[in-house]
Amino acid sequence: MTRAATRSGTGPLAQAVSTGSDPADPSEPIVSDRPVRTVVTGLALVDVVGALASGTLANSAYLFDNAQTDGAIGHGTASLSTPLSAGDLMVWVSMGLECEAFVRLSGIRIDAAFAEFVAIDCGAYTGTAVVYWTLRVLKTLVEPIPYQLEFRLGSRSEPMIMPVPSYLLPPRATPAGEGQ
């Protein structure tokens, strides 16, 4: 069973913006007592005109994050793999390649079997229409967790979903002698 969070909340990133158990109701934020260890920013750059013309995000969406030095791979492709530890927060935003074309990250699809490891949330930056989505790692990942980003593009009524999954990876082990 896939859990797809697809709601729009509001509030600055520093505030809790989750909806609790109902992703359609933005009235009840979840306030986490777990501090954020590291924030990783993910950017989805979308060629909206190309995606709408072809009917797919294949060859029209390019994913990036700021965790390359931590072992993230797949920058500039449709499948990004990002190592994260318990307490880390990944914040996803979207941007259109063409400034006049509408693109909004509208959801993150992840299998419900991974709910004990990852919490999904969304919001909008205060005073803007810029929507962000977060993936909070609740406990240490034991295997790669696949997820797919979902977008609203132009005037298309149906969302478009990434054709291949991206992955949250367990943190890499530090080889003996490193990081001391």
- pLDDT class for 172, splitting at 50, 70, 90? confident
pLDDT of 173 over the 60 cut = no
- CB-based burial, 18-57: b 16+ in 10 Å, e otherwise: bbeeebeebeebeeeeeeeeeebebbbebbbbbbbeeeeb
Q: What's the pTM value of the predicted model, to 2 decimals?
A: 0.78
Please give the pLDDT value at position 34. Answer: 57
Three-state SS for 49-61 is HHHHHHCCCCCCE
So what's the architecture of 2-169 in CATH?
Sandwich (2.60)
